[in-house]
Amino acid sequence: DVKVTQSSRYLVKRTGEKVFLECVQDMDHENMFWYRQDPGLGLRLIYFSYDVKMKEKGDIPEGYSVSREKKERFSLILESASTNQTSMYLCASRLSGPREGYTFGSGTRLTVV
């Protein structure tokens, strides 16, 4: 069964810590994405990558960075975690092409205290 795997389901970190969220897909998809989901705000795109070592800012990149050293892995980095980054983080991947949908991971619920 093809899948997108996020390394942690729940994470609690302290303010100011550097936080790494890892995502791995086994479908050989070119494109990978990080979203955050907050009540009443829907899904907001943080960053996406369309190839190894390539990245593009989404709608809310401030306070985040990403790394894609291998095709199957896309990491989201919170350089200095803050309480307003407490959220559900969703990783997704897709093939290129207008008919292709997303495959999502199960999500990481991050709490910054």
Partner 1 sequence: GDSVTQMEGPVTLSEEAFLTINCTYTATGYPSLFWYVQYPGEGLQLLLKATKADDKGSNKGFEATYRKETTSFHLEKGSVQVSDSAVYFCALSGPSNTGNQFYFGTGTSLTVIP
Question: Which residues contact partner 1 (rule: CB under 8 A)?
Answer: 4, 6, 31, 33, 42-43, 45, 48, 50, 56, 58, 90, 92, 94, 96-107, 109
CA distance 102 to 93: 6
CB of 13 to partner 1, least distance (A): 19
Q: Phi first, then psi: give them for residue 85, nearest 5 degrees.
A: -100, 5
Q: How far apart are CA 8 and CA 95, in angstroms?
A: 24
> Parallel, antiparallel, or unpaired: how do β-strands 87-94 and 31-38 relate?
antiparallel
Q: Which is nearer to partner 1, 68 or 94 (CB)?
A: 94
Residue among 17 and 38 whose Cβ is closer to partner 1: 38
Query: Least distance (Å) from partner 1 to the CB of residue 104?
Result: 4
